[in-house]
Structure 1
Amino acid sequence: MLRAALALLALLSLLSCGEMVTDQNKDARILLMGDSMMAANRGLGHSVGNEIERRLGAEVIDRSVIGARYFYYLPVSGAAGLRLTAQYRKGDWDWVVLNGGGNDLLFGCGCAACNRMVDRLISADGTTGAIPDLVRQLRRDGARVVYSGYLRNPGLYTPVRACRPYGDELDRRLTRLAATDPKGIFFAPMSDIVPRGDASMFQFDLIHPSAKGSAAIAARLAKVMQSR
């Protein structure tokens, strides 16, 4: 049943995939990649990418996809952008903004005994793994990179509460990755954005950001880019 549900999600995600680089937007200089934290509220015009555009006055090519993971092996995963690395397209990007890894923890190991998964995503010193491999590719292609952490939900009961220790460790390792290239890689933590017990930052599932939550994420990401 789980495989069937994921296959259906993959097909549906084809419809929700972000913009493609076309003649109409080939001059855009900001690419956004990631999972549902980035893609949430896009249909209403209030996704993280939409809000970054408003704050910076610059076009954002948003290729984020609901359900995206680093380790995703269904045949449709690449074309649908469900494999996070497949969202990338080379271009004259000044910035690539992205997140990812949460769905690998949630679906890959159920937020239980995930130490090996965290290591596959990024090593303890922040230098090896799927995340550093992708980030360094982006840097080789000339873009500066902002990697976003995930929102936390203090004081709220959610299905992903068990993920928190692994999310905290992921943040620590992403901080170390950013320290290896302080002029080109920036980590933007989101763990302190949500006030304790504030459900207004989330949709009804208390996992995905509401429009208010997306705006708060975008504000922090835009501030990073404006200060560099």
Structure 2
Amino acid sequence: MMRMRGLVLGLLFGLLGGAPGAGRADVLVMGDSLLAVNGLQGAAVADVLRRLLPAETVRDRAVPGASFLYPLPLTGALGLSIPKQYVPGRWDWVVLNGGGNDVMWRCGCGPCRRVMDRLIRRDGAGGAIVTEVRKLRATGARVLFVGYLRSNGFQSPIEACAATGDEIDRRLARMAAADPGVRFLSLADLVPAGDTSYFALDRIHPSPKGSAAIAARIAAVIVAVIAP
């Protein structure tokens, strides 16, 4: 783990030229438990991003249980409505995820076309996710939308969601292709076949190792854009 982090840090410092403040970017993180878990250990995705990008300002607003179509009251105050997690600022990047809780709670990973269409249309040009991404882009920020992990070969409560996740990923990729200021980061290939170490004991959420690997991929995208 430490060796991997050292290698990633070395790569990122090399891209940034090693100078304090070089390639600086302010980053806001919004979303659900994929990005939020492991925060009590200082090992959530945003925590690792702060270490991988020491010149950056990284603010974490992700909350476990958050969604785009959440119907319950007080969701804004609790941070459970992903759009209401936004904090005004001069953000260079907004790292964003979501939609998994909408699918789980409303479809149970069964047939889910109506919910998928409400989240993001097949052409990637409409839906709650697209509306939020456009609002974020209107602030001048770039948006990096992060997909979900796959179990890739071992028993997991999320295995039944794989087909829905693949379709949503395709739609997110179409959304990103329409705007050079939007990137979609798929995590479908992040977990090696049969490797449970990237997951917590529930085999749904990332372990600290999984969060670190997600953060490394996010950091690589950001550095590739901002590096001199």
TM-score above 0.5: yes
1:56 equivalent among 53, 56, 62: 53
Could you tell me which runs of 5 or more consecutive residues in structure 1 were left unpaired when the two chains were aligned: 1-27
1:227 is paired with a residue whose SS is helix
Matched, 1:92 2:90: yes
* 1:159-193: CA deviation from partner (whole Å, max 9, x where unpaired): 121111110001001100000112x0000100000
Corresponding residue number in structure 2 for 1:202: 199
TM-score (norm: length of structure 2): 0.86
Is the CA contact 2:151–2:158 (under 8 Å) kept in the aligned structure 1? no
Classify the secondary structure of the residue corresponding to 2:204. Answer: coil
State whether residues 26 and 91 of structure 2, in contact with CA within 8 Å, keep that contact through their aligned partners in structure 1: yes
Please give the secondary structure, in 1, of the residue aligned with 2:171. helix
Answer yes or no: is 1:43 the counterpart of 2:35: no
The reply on whether 1:80 has 2:84 as its aligned counterpart is no
Instruction: Quote the residue 1:31 is aligned against.
Output: 28
Q: Deviations over 1:50-102 (max 9, x none)?
A: 11111111221000000001111211211101111110122100000010001
Q: Which structure would you say has the larger RCO, counting Cα contacts within 8 Å and 6 or more residues apart?
A: 2
Q: Secondary structure at the match of 1:74?
A: coil
Q: CA RMSD for the aligned pairs?
A: 1.2
Q: Could you say which residue in structure 2 is the equivalent of 1:211?
A: 208
Aligned to 2:165: 167
Which consecutive aligned stretches of 4+ in structure 1 deviate over 6 angstroms post-superposition?
none
Contact 2:144 2:185 in 1 (8 A): yes
Partner of 1:24: none
TM-score by length of 1: 0.86
Q: Residue 7 of structure 2 corresponds to which residue in structure 1?
A: none
Between the two proteins, what is the percent identity of the paired residues?
54
| Distance in 2 separating the partners of 1:197 and 1:168 | 19
Deviation at 1:132, TM superposition (A): 0.5
Q: Does 1:137 align with 2:166?
A: no
- Give the equivalent residue in structure 1 for 2:124: 126
CA distance in 2, matches of 1:55, 1:160: 29
Report the 3-state secondary structure (helix = DSSP H, G, I; strand = E; otherwise coil) of the residue aligned with 2:184.
strand
